[in-house]
Structure 1
Amino acid sequence: MPAVHVEVERKFDVPTDFVLPDLAGVDGVAGVDAPEERQLEAVYHDTPDLRLARARVTMRRRTGGPDAGWHVKLPETAGARRELHSPLGRAGRTPPKTVQEPVTGIVRGAPVGPVASLQTRRLVTLLRADDGRVLAEVADDTVTGTAFAATPDEPATVQVWRELEVELVDGDEAVLAAVAERLVAAGASPSPSPSKLARVLTDRLAAVDGGPALPKPTKKTPAGQVVLAALATQVQALQDADLLVRTDQADGVHDLRVACRRLRSILAAYRPVVDRARTDPLRDELKWVGTELSGARDGQVALAHLRELAAAQPDELLVGPVIARLQQAEIKDAEAGRRAAARTLAGARYRQLLDDLHALLDDPPYGDRAGDPARPVLADAVRRAGKRLRRRIAAAQDESASGSLHEVRKAAKRVRYTAEVAAPVLGSRADALVDRMKTVQDLLGERQDTVVTRDWCRRLGMAASAAGENGWTFGRLHALEEARATAAEAGFWELEPTLSKAVRKAGKK
C-alpha cells in the first residue's frame, strides 16, 4: 500500500537574483540550518489528453532526494494536499498498477505515459524551534521544465525559472504565514501557478480544457447550455468522490452516492432538454451504483449514531457489553462496506458508466427544448417536480404505508436538485425553495435513518441474547429511535403546508 504524506505548503515566484532573507528572526523560529543541495529529476505521467492534470492530480516518478519514488498528488482540500508514495521499483516509463489504481476513475482505461520532466536544483533550508524540532522546510528551486510534444511532429518546449516552496513539517499555520510575510517583504510573490507541472503544461492544457468558461447564465441563455453545465459539475463531483473512495477517505461513499442521485434527478427533471433515449439507461446505471454502495454508507451512519446514543446513556442502563458489541459491528460493517465499494468501482460496468457520462458531455443528446430560452424551461421543470412531490405527499396522507414518507423524501430531493440547476436563472425564489427542500430532506432523512438504526438494534439485541447476554439495552435504544422517528415525522407535517407555495413562487415564469 502507498504511504500517505500530507503536504501543506506555499509557493512563491522569485527573480533569478533573489536573495533568501534571514529567517531566524521570524516568530517561532529559533534556528536556521545551513542550506543543503539536492539534485532532483521527476518525470510526470498522464494520458494524452491530460486527464490527470485537468483533475488537479499529478503522477510522477522522482529520483534524487530523500523521497525518491512514485508520487500521486491529490487535489488540495482545506489548504493541504495528500500525496501517495510508492517505491521506485523497476518500471520507468509505465507506472505500476498500485500507483495507477487510485486514479482509475480519472484515467478510465486511457494509456498513461510521460508528458513532462523537471530537473531541479534544490537548496533546502530547515527552520527549527527552540527544542530542535523542524518547523518548516524552505526549498529554493531552480527548475528546468520540459513539456513533451503531444504528437511526434511537434517539438518539445523548455522553460527555466526559479521559485520557492515553504512546506510545514512540525510547525503550524502561524509559522507558515510569518515566513511567507518575510519572503514577500524581500521581493517574492505568491505563485499564480498551482504546481510546477501546470506551469510546464500551460499550452497543452489550454488546448484540451474545453475552452473558456461559460458566462453566467441569464433567462435568455439556451436551456441546453444551463443543463449541460449542471451535468458537467456533477460528473466532476462524481469523479472527485471516486478518488476519495479509492483512497479510503471519509465521506467518499456518501459523496459518490449524492453525485449519482443528483445526476439521476437532473436527467429526469430535464427530459425536454436532454433526450431520454440516451439518458434513461444512464439513470438506471447510476441507480445501480447507489444501490451497490448503500450498505457501505447506511451501516456506517447507523452504527456511529448508535454508539453515540449508547455512550450518552446512564451507566445503569447499559446492561451487558453494549458498547463493545456496537464497536465490533461497526468494524465488521466498515470492512464489508469497503470491500463492496472496491468491487463496484473495479468492475467493467462502472467503468463503462464513467465513459458514457463523459460521452454525454462531449456529445450532448439535446431534446426539443434545448435551444429555448432557459427561464421558462427551468420554471416548467421546477413545477413538474413540485407536482410529483404533491402526489407523493397526498399518498402519504391517504395511506399509512411505512414506505410512503420515504417516497416523499425522494420526491423532495428531486425538487431540490431541479431547483439548484434553475437557481442561477430563476434567482432567489429558487434558492428559497432549495433551502426549504433541504429542511424536508433533513427531517425525513432523520426519520429514514431510524429505520436502519432500529433494524441494527433488533439484530444486535437478538445476537446478544443468543450469546447469553442481556439484550434489554438494545430494546431501549430501539425505543429511543422510535421516538426520534416520531419527532422527525411531526416536524415534516408541521412544515408541509408551506411547500406548495414555495414551489409556486419558484416556478413562476
Structure 2
Amino acid sequence: MAQSTRETERKYATPAADDISWLPDLTGVDQVASLVERGVQELDAVYYDTGDLRLTRTRASLRRRTGGTDAGWHLKLPLAGDSREEIRAPMSSETVPPGELRELVLSRTRGAPLRPVMRIRSTRSLRHLLDAEGAVLAELSMDAVRADSLLDDGGHAVWTEMEVELADRGGPALLDGIEKVLRKHGVDRAQSPSKVVRALAETAPFLEHTADARVDLAPRSAGDHVLAYVDGLVGALRDLDPAVRRDLPDAVHRMRTTARRLRGCLRAYRSVLDREVTDPIRRDLRWLAGELGAERDHEVLRERVTSGVRELPGELVLGPVTARLKAWDVAQRAEGRRRTLEALASPRYLDLLEKLKGLTDAPPLRAKSAGKPDKVLVKALLKEYGRLARRMDRALGMPSGAERDAAIHSARKAAKRLRYAAEAARPALGKPARRLGKRAKAVQQVSGAQHDSVVSRHVLRRMAVAAHTAGEPGFTWGVLHGQERAAADARERELPEAWAGARAAARRFGG
C-alpha cells in the first residue's frame, strides 16, 4: 500500500559538496540552535517517464531509489509553492513501476508506456538543523550528483547542489530566513526545480522537456483570455485525477466542477474556439461529470439526510431509521465509487485526455479570437445571460409543482454557465465581470438548494416506501419529507431577489 507525505524544500546551487567552508552560519535563523552532521548516504535512483517525457513536462517524477532511509518507489506530484506530494510504494524486485503508481500518473501519461529515462546517483552529506530542545526543524543535504541518460544518444552530467527540506517542526519562515542568509553569502537558488529536470537539460538538450504550459505574453486578445482559462482547467482536471483515485476528501466534487467549468467555457465561447473541435470534447466532459456525479450527488444527499435525522428530537425518530440510512449509504456509496473508477479506467476517458491535450497544444481558434475582449467576451456573456433570463422568467411564472421544479433546475444550469463564462472573462473585464459572476453564483446557489430539496424528497419517499414494505414505521421519513418541502418553498421565495441582483449586474454590460 502506497503512503503519502508532503515535502517542502528548496534547492541551491553550491560550489562544492565535500568542502562546506563556504556555508554560512545558520544558527540564529528563526529557531535554529545548532547544525548536526548525520553522516553520508549513497543514493541510486532510476527515473521513469514516457518516451516524450509526459511526467517531466507536467512537473511530476517517478523513480525507483535504493540507499538512504526511504528506499522504494517514489512518485512526486506538484503542489503550490515549494511543496510536493510524495507517494511511496515499497521496494520490490520488479523494475516495472507498481500498478498503483501507474494508475496515479495515468492522467499525465494518457496510457503511454513508462520506461527508464535517467539514472541519478548522489553522494549525500546530511545535516539536521535543530532547535534549542533538539527537535529537527529541517534537513540540509549536500549532494554530489552524477546523472546518466538512459535515452538514445543521451550523455551524462555531474554537479553539486544543496537541498533544505522542512521537517514537521519547521515552517515557511525558516526557509525564508535561511534563503536570506544564503543569498547574502552569494548562494542562489538552483535554476532547475528537480534533479531529473536538470539532468535532462544537461544530458539531452535536444529534447524539449520543459513544462507543457504555453509561454505567452500577457493576454491581450479575446482568444488569449479564453485559452488562459482553458489551460488552467485542463491542468486542474489532470492534477485532480490522482486525488480522485485515492478517494481524498472533496476530490470528486472538485474534478466534477472542473469538468463543468471547462464544458461551460467551451460552450460560451464558441465564437472563439471552433465548435467542430470543442463539441465532441463537451460531450465527453458531460459524460465524465455525469459519471462522477453518482458519487458526488450521494455525498450531498447523505450529508443532508443524515443531518436531518440527527437534528430531529428523539421522540420523532421511530423505528430502525439509522440502520436503514446506513444500509442505503453503503450501497449507494459503493455504486458511486464503482462508476467513478470505471470511468477513469475507460478508453473514453483516455481519449478525452488526448483531446484536451490537443486543444491546448493546437487551439482551434476562430477569426473572432483576435478581437478585443471588451467586444467578443461581452457579447458571449450577454448571450449566456439571455439564455438564463428566458429560463428564469419561465420558471418564476409557473405555479409550484414538478414542472416548476424542473424549470428552476434548468435555470440553475444556465446560471452556472453564466458564472463560469464570467470567471473566464474576469481578467479582461474586471469588476463588472466579477460582479456578474457573483450574482449568477447567488442564483445558482439558491436554485441549487431548492433542487437538493427536491432530490432529497424523492429519496425520502423511497425510504418511506421501503420501511412500510418491511413493516417499519414511516413516520420519521414523512417528517423529514415535510421539512424538505418547507425548505424548498423557502428557497423559492428567495429566488426572485437573487435573480434581481443578477439582472442588475447584467445591465452594466447592456443586458
Q: 1:269 is matched with which residue? A: 268
User: 2:421 is matched with which residue: 414, 418, 423?
Assistant: 418
Contact 2:62 2:73 in 1 (8 A): yes
Letter in 1 for 2:139: V
Residues 12/350 of structure 1: CA separation in 2 closer, same or farther (3 Å cut): closer
Residues 464/15 of structure 1: CA separation in 2 closer, same or farther (3 Å cut): farther
- 1:348 is displaced (CA, Å) by 0.8
**After the TM superposition, which of the residue ranges 280-289 and 498-507 deviates more from structure 2?**
498-507
Q: 1:48 is matched with which residue? A: 51
Residues 335/66 of structure 1: CA separation in 2 closer, same or farther (3 Å cut): farther
Q: Does residue 494 in structure 1 map to residue 502 in structure 2?
A: no
**After the TM superposition, which of the residue ranges 82-91 and 414-423 deviates more from structure 2?**
82-91
Query: Using the alignment, how far apart are the partners of 1:409 and 1:331 within structure 2?
Result: 30
User: 1:99 is matched with which residue: 98, 101, 107?
Assistant: 101
Letter in 2 for 1:122: R
Task: Point out where structure 2 has 5 or more consecutive residues left out of the alignment.
Answer: none
**TM-score normalized with structure 2 length:** 0.86
Contact 2:138 2:170 in 1 (8 A): no
Letter in 1 for 2:77: L
- 1:135 is displaced (CA, Å) by 4.4
Letter in 1 for 2:312: Q
3-state SS of paired residue (1:303): helix
Residues 326/504 of structure 1: CA separation in 2 closer, same or farther (3 Å cut): same
Q: 2:302 is matched with which residue? A: 303
- 1:397 is displaced (CA, Å) by 2.6
User: 1:37 is matched with which residue: 17, 20, 40?
Assistant: 40
Residues 117/379 of structure 1: CA separation in 2 closer, same or farther (3 Å cut): same
Q: 2:73 is matched with which residue? A: 70
**TM-score normalized with structure 1 length:** 0.87
Residues 426/144 of structure 1: CA separation in 2 closer, same or farther (3 Å cut): same
Q: Per-residue displacement from partner, 1:391-423 (whole Å, max 9, x unpaired)?
A: 111221333412000011111111111122222
- 1:105 is displaced (CA, Å) by 1.4
Q: 1:387 is matched with which residue? A: 386
Q: 1:405 is matched with which residue? A: 408
Q: 1:253 is matched with which residue? A: 252
Letter in 2 for 1:213: V
User: 2:169 is matched with which residue: 169, 172, 183?
Assistant: 172
- 1:78 is displaced (CA, Å) by 8.3
Contact 2:108 2:238 in 1 (8 A): yes
Q: Per-residue displacement from partner, 1:416-470 (whole Å, max 9, x unpaired)?
A: 1112222222221111111111111211122222223223322333344444443
Query: Using the alignment, how far apart are the partners of 1:292 and 1:403 within structure 2?
Result: 21
Query: Using the alignment, how far apart are the partners of 1:395 and 1:160 within structure 2?
Result: 69
**After the TM superposition, which of the residue ranges 344-353 and 312-321 deviates more from structure 2?**
312-321
3-state SS of paired residue (1:506): coil
What RMSD over aligned residues (CA atoms) do the two structures have, in Å? 3.1
Identity of aligned residues (%): 36
Query: Using the alignment, how far apart are the partners of 1:415 and 1:469 within structure 2?
Result: 46
**After the TM superposition, which of the residue ranges 28-37 and 345-354 deviates more from structure 2?**
28-37
Letter in 2 for 1:144: V
Contact 1:119 1:144 in 2 (8 A): yes
- 1:291 is displaced (CA, Å) by 1.4
Residues 146/204 of structure 1: CA separation in 2 closer, same or farther (3 Å cut): farther
Q: 2:197 is matched with which residue? A: 198
1:100-139 correspondence to structure 2 within 5 Å:
100-125=102-127, 135-136=136-137, 138-139=139-140
3-state SS of paired residue (2:370): coil
Q: Per-residue displacement from partner, 1:53-92 (whole Å, max 9, x unpaired)?
A: 2322211111112321111122225875332222333333
- 1:347 is displaced (CA, Å) by 0.8
Contact 2:61 2:75 in 1 (8 A): yes
1:336-375 correspondence to structure 2 within 5 Å:
336-375=335-374
Contact 2:294 2:336 in 1 (8 A): yes
Letter in 1 for 2:116: P
Residues 7/500 of structure 1: CA separation in 2 closer, same or farther (3 Å cut): closer
**After the TM superposition, which of the residue ranges 139-148 and 55-64 deviates more from structure 2?**
139-148
Contact 1:419 1:431 in 2 (8 A): yes
Contact 1:69 1:86 in 2 (8 A): yes
Q: 2:217 is matched with which residue? A: 215
Query: Using the alignment, how far apart are the partners of 2:42 and 2:56 within structure 1?
Result: 24
1:255-334 correspondence to structure 2 within 5 Å:
255-334=254-333
Query: Using the alignment, how far apart are the partners of 1:445 and 1:191 within structure 2?
Result: 49
Letter in 1 for 2:145: T
3-state SS of paired residue (2:105): helix
Query: Using the alignment, how far apart are the partners of 1:488 and 1:78 within structure 2?
Result: 41
User: 1:450 is matched with which residue: 450, 453, 471?
Assistant: 453
- 1:126 is displaced (CA, Å) by 5.5
Residues 448/166 of structure 1: CA separation in 2 closer, same or farther (3 Å cut): same
3-state SS of paired residue (1:74): strand
**After the TM superposition, which of the residue ranges 290-299 and 488-497 deviates more from structure 2?**
488-497
Residues 327/316 of structure 1: CA separation in 2 closer, same or farther (3 Å cut): same
Query: Using the alignment, how far apart are the partners of 1:474 and 1:204 within structure 2?
Result: 67
- 1:281 is displaced (CA, Å) by 1.9
Query: Using the alignment, how far apart are the partners of 1:444 and 1:479 within structure 2?
Result: 19
Letter in 2 for 1:431: R
Contact 2:58 2:212 in 1 (8 A): no
- 1:506 is displaced (CA, Å) by 3.3
Contact 1:433 1:506 in 2 (8 A): no
Residues 113/483 of structure 1: CA separation in 2 closer, same or farther (3 Å cut): same
Query: Using the alignment, how far apart are the partners of 2:424 and 2:26 within structure 1?
Result: 50
Letter in 1 for 2:123: R
Contact 2:43 2:68 in 1 (8 A): yes
Residues 294/205 of structure 1: CA separation in 2 closer, same or farther (3 Å cut): farther
Q: Per-residue displacement from partner, 1:185-214 (whole Å, max 9, x unpaired)?
A: 475666665433334345678655458632
Residues 468/26 of structure 1: CA separation in 2 closer, same or farther (3 Å cut): farther
Query: Using the alignment, how far apart are the partners of 2:419 and 2:90 within structure 1?
Result: 46
Contact 1:261 1:290 in 2 (8 A): yes
Query: Using the alignment, how far apart are the partners of 1:5 and 1:183 within structure 2?
Result: 27
Letter in 2 for 1:227: V
Letter in 2 for 1:162: E
Contact 1:126 1:135 in 2 (8 A): yes
Residues 440/449 of structure 1: CA separation in 2 closer, same or farther (3 Å cut): same
- 1:239 is displaced (CA, Å) by 1.0
Letter in 2 for 1:371: A
Residues 58/328 of structure 1: CA separation in 2 closer, same or farther (3 Å cut): farther
Query: Using the alignment, how far apart are the partners of 1:85 and 1:328 within structure 2?
Result: 34
Residues 208/447 of structure 1: CA separation in 2 closer, same or farther (3 Å cut): same
Q: Does residue 84 in structure 1 map to residue 87 in structure 2?
A: yes
